[in-house]
Amino acid sequence: MASARRSRPNILITGTPGTGKSTTGVELANRLGFKYINVGQLAKENDLYDGWDAQYECHVLDEDKASLVVEFILIQYDRWRIHVVNYHGCEFFPERWFDIVFVLRTNNTILFDRLQQRGYTGKKLTSNVECEIFQTILEEARDSYNPEIVHELESNAPEDLEQNLEQIQAWVMQWSS
């Protein structure tokens, strides 16, 4: 599934929960006719879990199962559509799947408020905000993929969303030419 065989690029949108990955991915897919894959939703729909983490009050993703399902989707649609994959982690996805990786970043105060509105509390809230403070997802992406394809995008306000979408669209047009 190397990019040399693809006629169009595969894009990964990643970042700490609450940074706007789903909003960005859905809107991007709508604008450009991409195949959109939300790995968290895919896991929920297909029971791709390996247990429950009581401390963080969430399911634990079975990364092997999730990777197999995502790879099947990528291969199935490879010749017809661009893919946008959205997930808050990225180190378990093979580098060959993606032509570019966008890491959404959000100001810690804004992120704290967003996560509280989602009902995050205690360790789950604190850990996610700390993850953003320490740039955990950004570093994970840089360690997992060629740093040249990893791009950090600010995602604090609605105008950031529009600017990010325009930037990604411009990149897709350049990649396709």
Annotated binding site: 18, 20-23, 118
Strand partners, 154: 105
Contact between 169 and 100 (Cβ < 8 Å): no
Planar angle of CA 29, 30, 31, nearest 5 degrees: 95
Residues in binding site for ATP? 18, 20-23, 118
Strands 150-154 vs 100-105: parallel, antiparallel or unpaired: parallel
Quick one: residue 15, left, alpha or beta (phi over 0 = left, psi -120 to 50 = alpha)? left
Identify the CA nearest to 153 among candidates 110, 83, 84, 104.
104
Position 114: which residue type?
R
Which tokens hold the place of 130?
């700390």
DSSP 93: S
> How many whole angstroms separate alpha carbon 149 and alpha carbon 31?
22
